[in-house]
Each structure stands twice: as structure tokens, then as C-alpha cells.
Amino acid sequence: MAQITFAILTVSDTCAKGEKTDKSGPALKELVSNTNTKVGSILKGNVICAATVPDEKDMIVKYLISRSDKYKVNVILTTGGTGMSKRDITPEATRKVLDKETPGMVTAMLMAGLKNTPMAMLSRAVCGIRNKTLIINLPGSRNAVEECLTAIAPAIPHAVDLITDRKALIADTHKVMEHADTSLLSQQTGSSSTMMVCKNVVQRSRQSPFPMITVEEALELIHKSVQVTETEIVNTEDAHGRILVKDIHSFCDLPPFKASIKDGYAVLASDGKGTRKVLCGVTAGTEPFSSLLTTGTCMRINTGAPVPDGATAVVQVEDTKLISESSDKTEEEEIEIMTEPIAGQDIRPIGSDIEKGSLVINAHTIIGATEIGLLAACGAKEVTVTKLPSIGVLSTGNELQDIGEPLKPGCVYDSNRITLITLLKENGFVALDFGIVIDEEIVLISKMQEALQKVDVLVTTGSVSMGDRDILKPILKEYFKATIYFGRVNMKPGKPTTFATCTFNNRKKYFLCLPGNPVSAVVTARLFLFPLLKEMCGDSSKPIIVQAKSTSSYKLDPRPEYARVILEWNDNKTELPLAYSTGNQISSKLLSCRGANALLMLPGRTEEKKMLDKDEIVPAMLIGFR
């Protein structure tokens, strides 16, 4: 859904005169634009103008026409003037400018109001369309404004799509909002079910329907499900970290001419030792030429300069001495060769480094700094590589807040998104930030749909465990008709990690749903997200695992555990690196990841082995080495 533009009009004599503070207008702006609220998450509104006018019909009409015809906003929300007093004329003013009315919205607001008070039937609100603008009358009280807007919010995006003829979005928006109406209706009528695909807290499963599988089995399922991305041609200087699709053969010989390896003198090796007359100097970048060398002569030459045809050796400066110089003391006239030259000495033959047409880099190679240099050296201006997958990162949870906002009671700042996006950036991937979404079904579906319009891989954190607000798996299965390859992994941390795929807009989409605990998110991203992305790029490289000696004892968990450690090679007394624990390994403690450069792969507890003792040898997966 595209962003919806709003105008807000407060109709009130007292507020217009400054005798009372307008509370409903600012509340409307917050409801519409704050995506941390339920209504805001649905509307994602951009309030481009707001005003207050007295209860005067002409002024109301003028505002509505201006915001519709001149500013062309998608929605105008009015608050106030819908009651039965003599000055309440907002509905009459609104009806005067409408092309057509939308009575269903009025009915929905009335039903929502009657649920709380019979006095709601006294409201005379009008809703309708002028040109391509939806105009909605709301009551004047702050509570009634929120109540009524919540009732109709799910229908507004689809209404805007229809009014503005956004054909590409209408079908998808209708599908989501159709379900949203059902969900909201059940809430308004007191139905026991408030979700369309997710059971309520009483009906939820007490046992996960997903079998517990090993990390190795999970990685194999990812491997089998992945389709390598399409290819693209990029400039060599932009190819770092990409996967080469085609073999690269050199476009030229390297060097393309006989080149001097040293600063010195081009000579005839057959002359042996002795004095030489210096004819001239040859510098790098000089066009190759046939020499005028004869017995007893030489040419001064710089490193990398073309060796003149006829010269058979280069003698370095250090093996010569000056015999005579020009009268102005600027040029050498005669030198002495103090060592016996050998034919071919310090000359790089044509194509001695790389021959024209020879294989330089194999397909499926990861292009690093050295490969970039080779590509440039052999004349490859462009290369064909696999496309990088488009990635989105989304955090779920009612308790989450963006950094920079005052922290509300019961809330925490969301660290998962920024951590994962940065981790992806460190590894050569760019991710879109889709923000925070609350644990409300319609809101989550809407946000996921928005993300899938833009990305191939959606990474989420939270909402995958067994809590009554963990609704992501049912949504994947029932709404997106996704194939869930696994929903539980025998590991600590990260047991509820979920991987799924679906078809959306005729393209295969991938979901990697990570736990919400910060450490779990980081560890499972290392274990599953990067293998998934590498598979999509055609990169078959595996993580580096080394044997390490633990410097601590560990109480083993029934599940294999990935403990954060710092590997150090202390001295020559031990052949293996020492693994130092980063401290308390609880999954919510992100501090345990700070400085870690490896994951110590602890075995699961058995009756025979319940502890890992200090100095035991354990495999460790390297992370964070750059």
C-alpha cells in the first residue's frame, strides 16, 4: 500500500478562539501517523496539513474544497460539530461538497460507538467522496475519535486505492483489509475469536506441531529450497564480494612487452663485465622500440620500462659504478658493469605473468581485493556476477520502541533490527529497514505484504515461540500459504527459528523468522541467514570451524549450545587457540556477543556427560574475523 496523505480539520468555536485546547486534532495526527499504534500501522499516514475553524459552514466548506481540489490529499478527517446542538453543522457543510456518500463507514462508526454508549446514536456524521478525496466526519471527543477511526481504519487504504484508481494495489489491499474487517467485527461484537488465522489464548496449541531437527538438517533444508538469483553485469571496481558467474580469460599478455624488473642498465649479456657507454635512458611508459645497442654500449632503464629489442639482460644499479659524466654533471657518460650478466637476467618476458586468453579466475569464485586486481590487470572492465538478494528486516513485538523515543513503561528499545542490518552490511549485503510492527494479525500481515513487494528475503525477529501473541507461523501458513520447512531447531539459543518460502507476485520469497531475544537473533543469523544468502548468490563456501581449548567449564544443556567466546593464540606452548567465555550466556544478554570472534559448539547433555570441563577440546565456528 502506498503512503496515504491526510488533512485534519478541527471544527470548534472555543478551540478556534483559543478558549479551549484542541485535543482531538493532535490525537488524530498521532493515530494516523504513528506506526507503533494499531491504527497507524494500518494507515501509515502522512499528515500534510491541519487546521482549526469555528462552527461556520462557509469556512468548513472552503477548507474541504481547498484540501481536496488544491492539495489533493487522499483523506480529510474532520473532528467536531457532528452533534445535535444549534452550532453543529459539520455534516451539512460536508454534504454540500460531496460527489457521493459512503454510508457504510458511518454505520461502522455507529456500531463501534453503540458498543460503549447508547448516546452514540445521536451522532450525525457524514462520510463521502469529493473528486479523489475521501472525507470522513468524526465526533469531537478524543475518546470517540479513536473509537470511530479504529472501526473504519482497515477499510481506508482500500477505499483510497479505489478512489485514486491504484489498480496495481487494489487486489492485494482488498485481500488484507477484507480479513481485517472480519477481525475487527469480531472484536466489536464480542466474538471469542479476534484473529482470522490465529487461535485465541484458550485454543492455542500447548505443544509445537513442528518436529525438532538438528542444525545440520535445517541447513540441508535451506540448501534444497534455494534458487540461485539472476545474474547481472557490474563494473570491475564494484564487484568486490560478489560471486563470479563465468570464467575470466585474460584480454592481453601480462606484461604485454619485455619489462625490466630492476632499475639499472639494459645490456648485451655477451659483453660480460667491463665499461659501457650510456646511450640514453628508458623510462616506464615509453613505447617499446628496437635498441641501438652495440658492443660496449648500454641504456639506463627503470623498473617496469620496456626492454629495447636487442638488449639481452638488465644489470641492477647496485652492480655498477660511475666512470665518467657529462660536462654539466647531469648525465652519465660511462659506467662499469661489475658482475657477469646472464642472458634474460631481470627481464620479464611477454606473457610471463599471464598469457593472453589464459584462464585467470574460475566461475563461482568470490571476488576479493586480489581478484579485483587480477581482473583489472588482464583488462576486464566488466564482469558477470549473481545478483545480491534483496533483504528486509522487520521486528515484531508490542514492547518494542525505536531508539530516540522516551522509553514507555513496560517497553524496551529494539536492538535487533539495527544489529542485523549492520551485520548484513559488514558481510556485503544491503537490507531495507521495515521497522517495528505490533503483535496484531492484520497489522503484521499488512507490513509483511508491504515488505514482500520490495524484497526477496524477509528476516523477522520475534513472534515465533509459543506465546499467545506469537502469531507469525499461523500467518505464514494460513494467509501466505507458505511452505514451512522447519519451525524448531535443536539448539541453544534459537530453538524456535523458522524458515519458510511462498510465492508472492509470481516470485519465490523466503522468510527467515528468528527469535526475539537479541543473542538468539544474532546467533541464528550467523548459522542460518548467511548460509541462505550465500546459497542464493551461488556461494558454496562453508563457515570455518577450528578446534579450540576451553578455558572454562560449562554445564551442558540438553540441546547443543553455541556459546560466545573469544579465541586467542596466546603463545607457542599450545598448538590450539584458547577459548575465553564472554560471560553470562543468557539469550537476552547482547553483551555476551561483544568482542566474540567464535561460537563454541558445545555438545548436548547426556547421562554420561553433563559437564564440559576446562581444557577440553571443542569445535569453534569463527565469526567476526575481517
From the first residue on, what is the mean pLDDT of each consecutive set of 10 residues in the chain (626 residues)? 86 91 92 86 88 94 93 95 94 96 92 87 93 95 92 92 68 48 39 46 63 96 93 95 94 95 96 95 90 91 94 96 91 95 96 94 93 94 96 94 88 94 94 91 86 96 72 90 95 95 94 94 96 93 94 95 90 80 61 79 95 95 74
Beta bridge partners of 16: none
Please count the other Cβ atoms lying within 10 Å of the Cβ belonging to residue 76.
Answer: 25
Return the SS3 of 483. strand
CA–CA dist 337, 322 (Å, integer): 9
Q: pLDDT at position 591, please?
A: 59
Q: pLDDT at position 439, please?
A: 84
Range list of H helices, 333-440: 369-377, 416-426
Q: pLDDT at position 169, please?
A: 46
Q: pLDDT at position 115, please?
A: 85
Q: pLDDT at position 89, please?
A: 96
- b vs e for 123-136, b when ≥16 Cβ sit within 10 Å of the residue's Cβ? bbbbbbbbebbbbb
CA–CA dist 423, 344 (Å, integer): 52
Q: pLDDT at position 188, please?
A: 37
CA–CA dist 279, 260 (Å, integer): 17
CA–CA dist 300, 497 (Å, integer): 69
CA–CA dist 314, 337 (Å, integer): 11
Q: What is the chain's length?
A: 626
Nearest CA among 367, 4, 392 for reference residue 162: 4
On whether the CB atoms of residues 599 and 562 are closer than 8 A, the answer is: yes
- 366 CA to centre of own chain: 20
Tell me the domains of the chain and their CATH numbers. 4-178 (3.40.980.10), 237-252+358-383 (3.90.105.10), 259-348 (2.170.190.11), 391-537 (3.40.980.10), 545-622 (2.40.340.10)
- Cis before 118? omega within 30: no
Q: pLDDT at position 166, please?
A: 60
Dihedral angle computed from the Cα positions of residues 162, 166, 168 and 170, in that order, rounded to the nearest 10 degrees: -20
CA–CA dist 276, 480 (Å, integer): 85
Nearest CA among 401, 416, 396, 524 for reference residue 472: 396
Range list of H helices, 70-132: 90-97, 103-114
Return the SS3 of 291. coil
Does the CA dihedral 108-112-118-119 come out positive or negative? negative
Element (H, E) at 320: strand 320-325
Q: pLDDT at position 189, please?
A: 33
On whether the CB atoms of residues 109 and 148 are closer than 8 A, the answer is: yes
322: Cβ–Cβ under 8 A, 6 or more apart, which residues? 332, 334, 335
Return the SS3 of 545. strand
